[in-house]
Amino acid sequence: QAQVVESGGGLVLAGGSLRLSCTAAGLTFDDYAMVWFRQAPGKKREGVSCISWNGDSTYYADPVQGRFTISRDNAKKTLYLQMNSLEPEDTAIYYCGALIGRWTAVQALGIMSSDRPSFSHYWGQGTQVTVSS
């Protein structure tokens, strides 16, 4: 059964760093665009960063631009999100998503932002990131 599983969350002081990982199983990883979304308490889910199937196309939300870096290792079937200069506003549950198709990062963002994406996709269970001030 196909799945994606996040890891790497935790508690960190403001200004610190974390690296999230998302490992895929049961799917052909390089057939999928990959995304990171987050949801903070009382807020809507938002797209944080996305990457195309081959890594040539990336997207970052304005609040994380310049602080977060998305990358993928197709040989290891793993997606990463390096988060630096973390702020309390980054506190949220971070979700990894896989979207079938050779979409650009922005296209993947749009599709996965829908409540019911029109293409085969998977979401992980999420990993908690807490940034204390």
Half-sphere exposure of 97 (CA within 13 A, CB side): 29
Question: For 57-113, how does the pLDDT look when each residue is reduced to its tens digit (9 = 90+)?
Answer: 999 999 999 999 999 999 999 999 999 999 999 999 999 999 999 999 999 999 999
Query: Is the pLDDT assigned to residue 15 strictly greater than 90?
Result: yes
| Torsion angle of C-alpha atoms 73, 74, 76, 79, degrees rounded to 10 | 50
Q: Are 27 and 18 in contact (CB under 8 A)?
A: no
Calpha distance 75→31 (Å, rounded): 12
Question: For 29-43, how does the pLDDT look when each residue is reduced to its tens digit (9 = 90+)?
Answer: 999 999 999 999 999
Angle (CA) 84 4 131, round 5°: 30
Q: Are 68 and 84 in contact (CB under 8 A)?
A: yes
What confidence score (pLDDT) does residue 126 get? 98
Calpha distance 68→39 (Å, rounded): 16
pLDDT tier, 2 (very low <50, low <70, confident <90, very high otherwise)? very high
